[in-house]
A and B are shown apart, each in its own frame.
Chain A
Amino acid sequence: MLDCHIIKHRADFTVDVALRAGVHARLGIFGDSAAGKSTVLACLAGIETPDAGYIHWDGQRWYPPPCPLHQRRIGYLSQRERLFPHLTVEENVLFALDRRQRASEEVWITELRAGLGLDTLWKKPATTLSGGQVRRAALARSLCRRPPLVLLDEPFVGLDRPRIRSLCGVLCDWQARLGFTLLLVDHDPAVMRSLCETVIIMQHGRIASTCAARQLRADAQEPPEPACAD
């Protein structure tokens, strides 16, 4: 279970957010630009250190003091996630797995490749990929070792709507089967409704309200399908 209270001072406002998310929960963080959504995820991942508060995950204390990044078993996809430029797509995706794990996870790796449309890109150097392809490969890399907590910061930037729809379906399926806790930051209400059960809406660094994802106002022109089963 994730239990955190993150306080992080910014130049013009303070992010002050308390969250609880149970195992297998799908929680969305929604709000305007510069509301502090990405800061919350970055603090959970350990990329940024909170100024105060606490972060507990599954009996472990991640803050304070800051827990080293490699000890946090998470899948994190930041807004500017990049692939390792000296490796191929395959080497990027399998980066966290040793030889033995690669053999034992062969079925899961095949599923990741197919689900994220990486089959034709698999042997390509990372530097030759387009922005959308990089996002998909980076998503595969973050999910490859089946982390129990997945933090996605606008995972579908640069992808077209049919692809987003397809990826939402795949992610829903994997979340249901693998049972990871999902925290998603996105601007798209349709993506939120598709992937999350509950959504917190942030304004100026604080939680303004919480609602069921299906109640989120439909600003998007076309809702993605399929939505996760409740």
Chain B
Amino acid sequence: MQPPAAVRRVLFTAVALALLYPLYGLFAPVGSWQWHGHHAFASLRVSFALTLVALAIVVLIGTPLAWSLKHASRKERTAFDAIILLSVLMPPLALGLLLALAFGPSTAIGRLLLSMNIPTSNSDASFIVTQMYASLGYYVIGATAAFEAVPADLEQSAALLGLKPWRIFRRITLPLARLGLAGALSLAWVRALGEFGAIMVTSYYPHGMPVQLWVNLQDSGLPAVLPLLVLFLATALPLPWILHLRMRRHRYA
């Protein structure tokens, strides 16, 4: 039995208002906003450039991985799911500490990287690797769900029409999974771009947007945070927001 439409609308409205309420914080009386343009744009550049690199790597690794997971045996799938979930459920601060230790100078990999002049903390490389660890699991889970939603009988029909597996992937699987993949990508984007806890530990420098927000809060208080926050929201949210809306509209069509 469904609730009456009026009750449903009241419930939706109440929850929607509650969810949107934090945005009211932007209008809080914190005094005159302080705009540090140089720091703001530098951190914006760091966040976007390095997140794009991290996500490109995540997509290159995660897409074939998710596709192969669709065809994996139940045992393989369970084992891999457990590991992927572990990475997704890992608290960000714990992830940062573990990455700092695992790639630090006390480990063989850390020493090897340092000997190759690849700094394992406070560098572009550490920033990108941290973002990859933070977002890969989200992308793989979303992409696997997207591939699994493609009906197997359509792929079989394409095979019976003479297409080899790679061409079936390109002409059937990928186009039919594209909206789900876009959703997975947008989740990974938000997760990587907004990562704070792990980045604070591994890559305080160069300052990305979340760290710059924290620095502004510490150094100058809320008046210096709010303009940067507006910039952050305006640049980080539209892409995943639109992608998700498109995906959902298509699903309900």
Contact = CB atoms under 8 A, between A and B. Distances in A.
A82 B162 contact: no
For A72, A76, A82, A95, the residue with the greatest tally of chain B CB atoms inside 10 Å of its CB is A95
Given A82-B151, A86-B176, A145 B161 contact: yes
Interface in A34-90: 45-47, 68-70, 72-74, 76, 78, 80-82, 84-86
B176 A145 contact: no
Interface in B156-184: 156-165, 171-172, 175-176
A141 interface: yes
A96 interface: yes
Contacts of B153: 78, 80, 82
B162 A96 contact: yes
A70 B162 contact: yes
B160 A84 contact: no
A78 B175 CA distance: 23
B156 A69 contact: yes
A45 B160 contact: yes
B154 interface: yes
B159 A82 contact: no
A47 B164 CA distance: 15
Nearest to B159: A69
A68 B159 contact: yes
A84 B163 contact: no
**Interface range on chain A: under 10, 10 to 19, 20 to 34, or 35 or more?**
20 to 34
B175 A70 contact: no
A86 B175 contact: yes
Mostly, the A contact residues are loop
Interface in A113-149: 141-142, 145
B176 A76 contact: no
A145 B157 contact: no
Interface in B84-109: none
B154 A96 contact: no
Interface residues of B, number: 17
B160 A76 contact: yes
Contacts of A95: 158, 161, 171
Given A80-B153, A81-B157, A73 B162 contact: yes
Contacts of A81: 157
A82 B160 CA distance: 13
Contacts of A46: 160
Nearest to A47: B156
A141 to B, nearest CB: 7
B163 A70 contact: yes
Contacts of B151: 82
Contacts of B165: 70
Contacts of B164: 70
A46 B176 CA distance: 23
B246 to A, nearest CB: 15
Interface string B48-65: 000000000000000000
B251 to A, nearest CB: 13
B160 to A, nearest CB: 5
A47 B160 CA distance: 9
Nearest to A86: B175
B24 to A, nearest CB: 42
Contacts of A85: 154, 176
A73 to B, nearest CB: 7
A76 B175 CA distance: 23
B159 A84 contact: no
Scoring B157, B160, B164, B165 by chain A CB atoms within 10 A of each residue's CB, the highest score goes to: B160
A76 B156 CA distance: 11
A142 B153 CA distance: 14
Contact of B161 (A68, A78, A82, A141): A141
Contacts of B171: 95
Interface of B: 151, 153-154, 156-165, 171-172, 175-176
- 10 residue pairs, one from A and one from B, having the closest CB atoms: A69-B159, A96-B161, A70-B159, A86-B175, A76-B160, A96-B162, A69-B160, A70-B162, A70-B164, A95-B161
Interface of A: 45-47, 68-70, 72-74, 76, 78, 80-82, 84-86, 95-96, 141-142, 145
10 contacts: A46-B160, A47-B156, A47-B160, A72-B160, A74-B160, A81-B157, A84-B158, A95-B161, A142-B161, A145-B161
